[in-house]
Chain A
Amino acid sequence: MERTVTVVPEDGLHARPASLFVETANEFDADVQLGRADEDDLVPAASMLAVTGLGVGHDESVRLVAEGDDAEAALDALEDILSTPEAKQ
């Protein structure tokens, strides 16, 4: 299951949005991977290091790929975080 989402938070996938994203990815059984929309490489969404290491900024598009029983719920929750403007650090 796959979805492409535009990153809305001002901070991009850094600081608090990243923290929340990783925390949420860890709440699901599904294996979720993440990458830039225009690149093939994917990294584990449950790793803070990998997620912040991608360096995704505000307004960039990312690809979310999930496998597992609750894949759809996981994608919904993660998409929600990426589409919500967040407080700046």
Chain B
Amino acid sequence: MTERTLSGIGVTPLSGVGTVVWYRPDADLPEPPAPADVDAEAELARFEDARAAAEDELEAERERTAERVGEEEAAVFDAHVQFLNDPQITDGVTDAIEGGLPAEHAVQETFTEFVEQFENMGGRMGERADDLRDVRDRLVRVLSDGERVDLSSLPEGSVVVAERLTPSDTAQLDPERVAGFVTMTGGRTSHAAIFARSLALPAIVGVGEELQSVEDGTEVVVDGESGDLVVDPTDERKEAAAAAADVDIRHESVETADGVDIEVAANIGTLADLGPAVDRGADGVGLFRTEFLFLDRESPPDEDEQYEAYVEALESFDGGRVVVRTLDIGGDKPVPYLDLPDEENPFLGERGIRRSLGPDADLFETQVRALLRAAASADGANLSVMLPLVSTVEELRAGRERFESVAADLDAEGVANELPEFGIMVETPAAAFMADQFAPHVDFFSIGTNDLAQYVMAAERGNERVSELGDYRQPAVLRAIDATVSAAEGEDCWVGMCGEMAGDPDLTELLVGLGLDELSMSAVTVPQVKAAVAETDTADARDLAERVLQADTKAEVAEILTLDQ
């Protein structure tokens, strides 16, 4: 058997070897019996039972998804329950059963009619068509009682292959037993991709129609880094993939080949991200995006709830630093219970520290109280706090004064508190230009490359038409980083980086050469970056950085980096 390769978009830098299990929820039902042979009463009862069972499943999956992936991803199940119980649908199914169809055929027929209606409307309606299809397939699966692949009890080492995987599908997957998954459709930001990253599963999306040619039971290698799906792999290929899958996870801290300590930490949003961060060997947390504690709920978390969240993060790492970023609301992160202004250009509007010192002063005070208390907890000495989107020294001073005055309030109340290590995010060109003025006032900088690249290049994140411009390999972005690090030299101010760039192992040597002390990334790439740090020699890295900083184009930067590999 000869090996062949299909390519798609790799969404996690992980490899897996396994056996293909095709998941085809759209498979045709058998021909229905003649209407005269259908017991309408019994079929109606089957439909009611299936509906109740499907609702129970949806509620359980909602909980599981909220816990594993996040509230935002979980909310889709609420809409599913509503479609499941929609009077138009239940009436349609009832009519079809009374017209002589078995329950599963009645469900299929009724839903498909609405799916087509919604698809024909296009746009946003197309997304609802996906939801309806998802609910339909669930009901048909419950009704046909296990005749389809049950995603929750796959044999160990299965590679799930499907046209698409919906939130309902992925919620059933057991990450312990699945070796990876591959889908025909989807992109880097599709639901399946987000899911794969949060659970550190090898995955490829967007392979296209050609995926149909891969048969059930075939052995495959899923390379989630290159996006290659290798069918009928050779023994050497499997061994190489298994070796890559068995990535060396270092739980101890790492230093360069010549003995310079580099902290490698994880970015987290919710407490559910702490487990994977610890499992992948992160030294600590380099970016705790606290706004996720505030999203998808009716009212903000109170001081005690926040205190407990920060303490839990601190206790998860054995002496590892936890850098908490204060609320970064606004921009692309609206919050339902806050009256956020409708701004022409929210990324340049009132967001981050601008809101915390302005309309969200009360929320900020609650957060500061929780942080000051957490800094006095058993592991509190490891807490660091940083302010987002700082662009003036006044903002830094005002933020810092807020911490000091709230600490005085807590002292007066007799509540234990400590001032944590204090820093700012460097993500505006203003902060990069003024870094020498900021450095004496802070304990550290953390360079947020996603926003920094967007603001330096005036190229909106997420706008594909300008994604080349907004790339962090642009010389102007690299110079902004260099300016920040250089300004901190000689001051008592360490410099870290959070954002996608920090998690790219191909850039680790460059970042060490630029002088970064800490790198923080999504948990999944922590082992690769730790390995890259250990191979780096700082003198060579500095030389590389010097050459890269002389480049006049992104293409030249890329060329220097490739030659260096």
Contacts and interface: CB of A to CB of B under 8 A. Distances in A.
A47 B296 contact: no
Interface residues of B, number: 27
Given A19-B78, A85-B334, A85-B342, A55 B83 contact: no
Nearest to A86: B336
A49 B114 contact: yes
Contact of A87 (B118, B132, B335): B335
B144 interface: no
Contact of B89 (A10, A14, A46, A49): A49
Given A52-B128, A55-B124, A22 B82 contact: yes
B437 interface: no
Contacts of B87: 44, 46-47
A47 B87 CA distance: 6
B117 A53 contact: yes
Given A19-B75, A22-B82, A87-B336, A49 B88 contact: yes
Contacts, number: 63
Contacts of A86: 334, 336
Contacts of B132: 49
Nearest to B341: A85
A68 B477 CA distance: 62
Contacts of A55: 121, 124-125
B295 interface: yes
Q: In the complex, which range does the number of interface residues on chain A fall in? A: 20 to 34
Contacts of A47: 86-88
Interface in B68-123: 72, 75, 78-79, 82-83, 86-89, 114, 117-118, 121
A89 B131 CA distance: 14
A49 B284 CA distance: 46
A18 interface: yes
Given A44-B87, A47-B88, A48-B83, A89 B334 contact: no
A61 B83 CA distance: 24
B340 interface: yes
Interface of B: 72, 75, 78-79, 82-83, 86-89, 114, 117-118, 121, 124-125, 127-128, 132, 295-296, 334-336, 339-340, 342
Interface of A: 10-12, 14-16, 18-19, 22-23, 44, 46-50, 52-53, 55, 84-89
7 contacts: A22-B82, A44-B87, A49-B132, A53-B125, A55-B124, A55-B125, A87-B335
Given A48-B79, A87-B296, 9 more contacts: A12-B124, A47-B88, A48-B86, A49-B86, A49-B132, A50-B86, A85-B334, A87-B334, A89-B75
